[in-house]
Chain A
Amino acid sequence: MTEFDEFSSPQWRLMSQVSRPSRYCGSEWRPYPPVSWDDAKLRVCLAFPDVYEVGMSYYGFQLIGSFIASMGRGYIADRAYCSWPDMKELMQQQKIPLTSTEHKKPVKDFDVLAFTLPHETSYTNILTMIFLAGVPMEKFMRRDDTPLVIAGGYGAYNPDVMGRFIDVFCVGEAEALLPELLPLIEGTKGRPRSERLTEISRLPGFYVPEYPHDGLVERQYTHQFHTLHSMIVPSVGIVHDRAAVELFRGCGRGCRFCQAGMTNRPVRERPEPQAARSILDIVASTGYEEAGLLSLASCDYSGIETLIDDLSPVLNERRAKLSLPSLRMDGFSVGLAEKLEGIRSKHGGITFAPEAGTQRLRDVINKGITEDMITSCLTEIFSRGWERVKLYFMMGLPTETDDDLDAIAELSHMTLKLGRSLGHKRTTVSVSVSGFVPKPHTPFQWERQNSIDELREKGRRIKSQIHDRAVSLSYHEPEQTFLEGLLSRGDKNTADVILTAWNNGASFDSWTEHFSLQRWLEAFGHCGLDTEHYTRERQEDEILPWDFVNVGVSKNFLKHERHKAYSGKLTPDCRISCSACGVGCRL
C-alpha cells in the first residue's frame, strides 16, 4: 500500500516541474477499449503541432482516430501534442522523448507519425515534435525502422514548403486516403524505406517529395464521410470543449479569398437523419452539454431547420444545447440563432463576418451579402433582444482603397446607432480586423500581400475613426499575418528558412508571446531569400510552387474569378448555378 508507481515515471517528474501540467496528463474518457500495444497491426500517432488544449479541440483528429478504429484492422490511432517551451527544455535536459497521450509510448516507437498542417504558423512546432520524438530531422538520416512521417490538412496543398521534413503528404480527405495508405504501410513493414516510399508515391493523392511523378497530385475526397457516434472527452478544459458534428463538407458560396471554400468542393451534405442520430449519440455517450454544428457555413445546410426542430426537445431534456460556429448575415440565420440560444444566452453576443466595409469590396471578394441584408439582419438581432455584436473584417484585400477602410468604421457606428435606436442603450460593437493573406488555390493566389507597415497604417486609420467607447476595435498582429503569408505561398526554399528559424528558437509562432519577427527576417536573410519575393504579386503565366497539386478547381476558373473580382462581378453559389469550377461534380 505504500508503493506508488506514478512517482517513478519520468513523465510525472516532468509534469511536476512545468507550467500547466494538466495539458500533459492524458486523463481522458475514451469511447473505445484500448487496442493492445503488442497486438496492434499498425501503430499510428496523430500529431498536432500545438499544445493539447488547442489540438484536442480539433475535430479532425476525433474523426480520423475513430475512422482508423472503424477500419477494423487492429490499428492503433494514438495522439501526441507539442510540448510548451518549458517542457521542451526539460525533456531535452533529461533526455526524455515525446510520448503519446493514450499509450504513453515514445512517439518514435510508432510506425507512422501523422501530422496535420492546420496553419503555417504551426510549422516550427512540427520540427519541435520531430526533434523531441528523436526522429532525425533530415530525411536521409531516417532509417528503415524510423516512423514514416506523413502530413495532411491545408498545408498539404502547398507541400514543398514542408517537403524537406515530411516523407509523405496526404492530399485530400482521410476517409479517401487512409484505406489505401495504411494497409500498404502495414504490408510493407520491414522493407527498405525507399521501396515503401516509392510504392506510396504511386498511389493517387499522395505526394512523396523524394519520388515525384509526372502529372498532377490529385486531391482525393469521399462522398461517404465517416460518422462519429462518440468522442474522446478530456478531463481538463480545452479551447472548444464540446461535441461536434459535421453537417456537410465543402462550400458553394465561392468567397474569393477563402481557401477552405475553394479546396473542399464539391458540397456534400450528410443526410439530416444521420446528422441527428450522430448528435444524439455523441451527446448521450460523452455527456457533453453542447454540440457544435460544424461546416464552412452551417446555416446553408438544407436540413438545418428540421435538424434543430428535431433535436431541440430531446437535447433540452438532457440540458444540452446546439451551437452554430458562424452565422450568415440574414434574417433566416438570426432566426436559427435565436432558436438555438434562447433569450438567456443573448448576453453572449452574436458574431457576423461582413469581411469588407463597402458593397464594392464585398462584391470583389464575392461575399454575397448586400447593404440591405446587413441592415435588415442587424435590425432583426436588435429587435430580438441581442445587444452585443461582433463584426469581423479583413484589411489589405485586393483593390482596397481608403474608402473601404473608412467604411469599416462607418458600418460599426451604424450598427451601434441602430442598436441604440431600437432601445438598447447598452449596445456594444466589437470590431475585429485581420490582415488578408493570399492563399494557394484561391482566385487571389496571385495577389500581392500588404506589408507590415501598410497593415499597421490601415489598422491605425480605422482606429482613428472610431470615436465611441461602445465600439471596440482589435486587429491581429500584422507581423504574424506577414509570416503566415510568407509561408503560405512559399516554396522548396522556404523549408530552409523554417529550419533556420527553428534552430534560432522559433516555435509557437501563432502565440504572440513566443513570436519574433526578427528571428524570421534573419532566417530569410541567412538563407539569402528576399521576403518581397514571397509577398509580391505573381504573374498569371508564372508556374506557382503548388501548381502540381490539383485540388479540383482549375487554374482557369481561378483566373476567371480573379478577373471577375476586378470588375466587381458576382459568381452565384454553385448550389444554385454551376460555375464550372473544374471539380466536375455536375458531369
Chain B
Amino acid sequence: MRVRLIYSRRDGACFVPHTALPQVFSRSAARAGLRLMMTQGFSPRPKFSFGPELPAGVVALNEPADIFLQDTTPDNLPERLNSSLPEGFRVSGATFPPEDAPSLGKSCIAAEYLIRHTQSLSLTDYITSFYGASLLEMGDVDGWLRVVTSEPSKNPIGAFVRNLREKSIITGWHQLNIVRLRVILS
C-alpha cells in the first residue's frame, strides 16, 4: 500500500545527505514496527520514492516521500513514525494516492523557497536571470525572497548557488539561508 508522507527536516537533519534518506526511513519504519515492501532483484531493499534532491544545509518544511507498506496502514502512522525518526525529522501528514496515480517523481511540478543573503544582498536579479521561464513567482516576505520554480528536479536550487559562486557573488553556502517551504504536487 502506497503512503505519501509529508515531512520536515530541521537543524542537523538538514545536513543528512539525500542518499542517506532511504536508510533513515527504512530503519525508522522498522523501529515503528512497520513492514515495508521490498524491491525485486538480487539484493532486495525497501521501496521508496523521495522528492527532488536537496543539497546539504537547506531547511525543508514539507517534503514528500512515498513509502510502500506490506500491511494495511495504521491510523496513527505519523505519530508512530515520529516516535522512531531521528532527531530533526518530523512527519506532518500521510495521504493515500489512488492506485493509478503517477509516481512521486512525475508529480513534483514546482517548489517554493525562501532565500536570503546573510548580508542582505538583493538576489532578485540573479534569480530572474538564472531561472528564466522556470521562475513562476517571486516576491519579498519578511526580509526573505519567496521564490517558486517549476520542475524542481530539473531546476535544482543547488545549481543556483553554484552559479552564484562561479560568478564570485558569494564565496560559499554559508552566505545564503535557504528554506524549501514545500514541493508542489500535481
Q: Which residues of A contact B (CB under 8 A)?
A: 2, 4, 6-7, 12-13, 15-17, 21-22, 24-30, 233-237, 285-289, 318-319, 344
Instruction: Report A587 CB to chain B, min CB distance, Å.
Output: 46
A25 touches B15 (CB 8 A): yes
Instruction: Report A174 CB to chain B, min CB distance, Å.
Output: 25
Task: Please tell me which one of the listed residues A12, A22, A233 contacts residue B27 in the complex, with CB atoms under 8 A apart.
Answer: A233
Instruction: Report B4 CB to chain A, min CB distance, Å.
Output: 21
Within 8 A of A (CB), among B12-27: 12-17, 20, 23-24, 26-27
Instruction: Report A127 CB to chain B, min CB distance, Å.
Output: 26
A237 touches B20 (CB 8 A): yes
Interface centre among B15, B16, B31, by most A CB within 10 Å?
Answer: B15
Given the known inter-chain contacts A2-B143, A22-B17, please indicate yes or no for A235 contacting B11, CB distance below 8 A. Answer: no
In the assembled complex, 12 residue pairs joining A and B whose CB atoms fall closer than 8 Å, in A order, are A4-B179, A7-B177, A17-B173, A25-B14, A25-B15, A25-B88, A27-B11, A30-B87, A237-B20, A287-B26, A287-B29, A289-B26
- List chain B residues, Cβ under 8 A from A7: 59, 177
Residue of B nearest to A11 (CB): B12
Known pairs A4-B59, A4-B177; list 5 more (Cβ under 8 Å).
Answer: A2-B114, A17-B174, A25-B13, A27-B16, A235-B88
Q: Give Cα A233–Cα B20 distance, bound, in whole angstroms.
A: 13
Task: Please tell me which one of the listed residues B57, B87, B143 contacts residue A26 in the complex, with CB atoms under 8 A apart.
Answer: B87
Q: Give Cα A318–Cα B35 distance, bound, in whole angstroms.
A: 9
B56 touches A21 (CB 8 A): yes
A2 touches B16 (CB 8 A): no
B144 touches A2 (CB 8 A): yes
Given the known inter-chain contacts A4-B177, A16-B173, A28-B86, please indicate yes or no for A285 contacting B31, CB distance below 8 A. Answer: yes
Q: Give Cα A437–Cα B144 distance, bound, in whole angstroms.
A: 60
Residue of A nearest to B11 (CB): A6
Interface centre among A28, A235, A236, A318, by most B CB within 10 Å?
Answer: A235
Per-residue CB contact flags for chain B residues 157-180 toward chain A (1 = under 8 Å, else 0) read 000000000000000111001010
- List chain A residues, Cβ under 8 A from B179: 4
B30 touches A16 (CB 8 A): no
Given the known inter-chain contacts A2-B114, A17-B174, A27-B88, please indicate yes or no for A22 contacting B20, CB distance below 8 A. Answer: yes
Identify the 9 closest CB pairs spanning chains A and B, nearest first. Answer: A287-B30, A287-B27, A25-B12, A25-B15, A16-B174, A2-B142, A29-B86, A16-B173, A287-B31
A22 touches B15 (CB 8 A): yes
A2 touches B15 (CB 8 A): no
Instruction: Report B166 CB to chain A, min CB distance, Å.
Output: 17
Instruction: Judge whether B84 is part of the interface by a CB distance below 8 angstroms.
Output: yes
Interface range on chain B (Cβ under 8 Å from partner) = 35 or more
- List chain B residues, Cβ under 8 A from A21: 15, 56-57
Instruction: Judge whether B153 is part of the interface by a CB distance below 8 angstroms.
Output: no
Per-residue CB contact flags for chain B residues 47-90 toward chain A (1 = under 8 Å, else 0) read 00000000011010000000000000000000000001111110
Instruction: Report B134 CB to chain A, min CB distance, Å.
Output: 24
Task: Please tell me which one of the listed residues A6, A288, A289 contacts residue B14 in the complex, with CB atoms under 8 A apart.
Answer: A6
Instruction: Report A23 CB to chain B, min CB distance, Å.
Output: 9
Instruction: Judge whether B128 is part of the interface by a CB distance below 8 angstroms.
Output: no
- List chain B residues, Cβ under 8 A from A16: 57, 172-174
A235 touches B13 (CB 8 A): yes
Given the known inter-chain contacts A16-B172, A27-B88, please indicate yes or no for A236 contacting B17, CB distance below 8 A. Answer: yes
Interface centre among A21, A288, A344, by most B CB within 10 Å?
Answer: A21
Q: Give Cα A285–Cα B27 distance, bound, in whole angstroms.
A: 9
Residue of A nearest to B44 (CB): A319
Instruction: Judge whether B155 is part of the interface by a CB distance below 8 angstroms.
Output: no
Residue of A nearest to B19 (CB): A237
Q: Give Cα A264–Cα B173 distance, bound, in whole angstroms.
A: 48
- List chain B residues, Cβ under 8 A from A319: 38
B59 touches A22 (CB 8 A): no
Q: Give Cα A25–Cα B16 distance, bound, in whole angstroms.
A: 7
Q: Give Cα A22–Cα B16 distance, bound, in whole angstroms.
A: 6
Instruction: Judge whether B141 is part of the interface by a CB distance below 8 angstroms.
Output: yes
Residue of B nearest to A285 (CB): B31
B31 touches A27 (CB 8 A): no
- List chain B residues, Cβ under 8 A from A15: 15, 56-57
Q: Give Cα A233–Cα B29 distance, bound, in whole angstroms.
A: 13
Residue of B nearest to A345 (CB): B43
Q: Give Cα A211–Cα B13 distance, bound, in whole angstroms.
A: 45
Q: Give Cα A286–Cα B16 distance, bound, in whole angstroms.
A: 18
Instruction: Report A283 CB to chain B, min CB distance, Å.
Output: 8
Residue of B nearest to A23 (CB): B15
Q: Give Cα A289–Cα B59 distance, bound, in whole angstroms.
A: 29
